Structures are given as C-alpha cells and as structure tokens.
Amino acid sequence: MPTIDAVRSWSDYVRRHHCRNTQLIYIPIIWRFQPYMPEFMSELTCEHIENYLSTLKTKNRTINNHLITIKSFGHWCSDHGIPNPASKVKKLPEDHPKQRVLSEDEYAKVLAICKTKRERCIIQLLGTTGLRANELISLRQGNIDPDNKFLHIIGKGNKPRTIPLCKVAQEAIDDYFNLPKSLTYITLYRLCKCLAHRAAISSFSPHALRHFFATRLMRNGVNLYRISKILGHSSVTTTEQIYIHFLATIDLAGITDCLDK
C-alpha cells in the first residue's frame, strides 16, 4: 500500500473511532511523520521511525508521545496485513512529573471558599468521581443510572466505564444539572485557578482533583484493581505507575491481623 494512502485511511479511522482530543494529537503527529516514511508501507523499518524521533529536539516524554501515535498507526497497519516495525521500537526513559494532588485540608479549604452552588458542585463532582475535565464538560443526564447510584462514561480512547456515586456525588450531580451551565475547558481551568487563589493554596488543575479522588480511595483501603477500573485506565500497571509514590505512604500497620483468625 502506498504510504500516503495508509496515512489518509488511518486518519479517517481516528476521526471515526477516537474522541476529539485524541484526534487533535494523533492526526498532526502522523502527518508530521509521513515525509520521513518510504513511498510504500512494506518498506517501512524501525530505522525510519528512529530517524524521525531523533529530529524531535524535546523532552523524552514528548518523543514517547509521538512514538505512541506511531505505534497506534502501526497496530492499525498490522490489522490490514501490513508489517508493523513500530512494535519493536522502545520508548525512551523519562522522569514522570510530580503529580499535583490536593490534600484533605486543601480540598476542605476550596469547598469552604466556594461562593456559589455551581462552584461547589463542580469541585465536589471532580473530587468524588475522578472525572477528567472533558468528561465533566460533556456530562449528560443520560450518563446517570435511573437510581442515581452509578455514572456511565465513555472516556479516553472510547473506553466505557462505570463510576459508583457516593451521596455527596449524587447531590452534586443533581445540583449540576439544575444550574445554568456554560462549562468549557477555559472556564473550568480558570475556576480552579481562581479557587486556589481564594483559598491561598498552590494552583491546581481539574486533574489534581482526579488524583485527590484516587489517593483518597487508596488511603481508605480500596484495592488498585478497582481504582484502575473506576479511573478508566487501560491496565492496573498504568494506575500503579502514576500512584506508586502514594502507595508507599499508606499505613500497613495491622494489615495482616486477619490471619490470626
């Protein structure tokens, strides 16, 4: 298959099967890579991929993001009978940035300085469901079970997941849908920045509330597999890599006492 045809077909596939955010990342990257590819897909080698990655004068984390896109393209190619050399290219080592997580005290401070019910229910929803910013923005009443106990989400990578709702989350969702809404990425991020300033704490993003949600579950004994499912991670390994430094802080005293019985 001519390379240009494969790139066009894969781009169309991404538009049909991936969320808008993924489209905005994947499609520009693969077209940026296209000039470094041979005329025909059958001639593509690891060397072509590595040569392209070497031109990216940026952090290893960004280079790996490009490689992830190329690997996704290569996986699609293999499904169409085209060899996939991308599977043999290894990611570069990278330092994971320290995650900003609100403490219990910071979370309480933020809720205390919320001036409106709208501000409060947005923070409570993020802090008690682990929703990503785009998932909250696109939230609809159809996502909620009739009994108001579960939230059904189509998340990152079009992966469906179910989030159990605590009483606080149930009340916050009721308030959220009963209030005027014009929530966008910009207004949501500005709200978090504004609340941090008002509460006199370090700036935080909506994602910091997702981390707060996950670490709070960990400290209350919820196992990593269940947390991974609620967060919508592709595997427990992903969850473990993000939260490994938090796991080390969990108090293990008395955890084996059940074996005495």
* Catalytic one of 18, 120, 210, 211: 210
Contact call for residues 85 and 49 (beta carbons, < 8 A):
yes
* Catalytic one of 120, 161, 211, 233: 233
Contact call for residues 206 and 188 (beta carbons, < 8 A):
yes
For this structure, is 243 an active site residue?
Answer: yes
* Catalytic one of 18, 48, 66, 156: 156
Contact call for residues 227 and 214 (beta carbons, < 8 A):
yes
Cβ neighbours for 1, distance < 8 A, ≥ 6 positions apart: 40, 41, 42, 80, 82
Distance separating the N- and C-terminal Cα atoms of the chain: 65
- Looking at 155-210, which runs of residues are DSSP E strands? 160-164
Tokens of 250: 């969990």
φ, ψ (nearest 5 deg) of residue 33 = -75, -25
For this structure, is 207 an active site residue?
Answer: yes
Q: Which of 85, 55, 83 is nearest to 70 (CA)?
A: 85
* Catalytic one of 109, 207, 216, 229: 207
Cβ neighbours for 2, distance < 8 A, ≥ 6 positions apart: 39, 40, 41
For this structure, is 161 an active site residue?
Answer: no
For this structure, is 75 an active site residue?
Answer: no
* Catalytic one of 132, 161, 176, 211: 132
Give me the active site residues, please.
132, 156, 207, 210, 233, 243
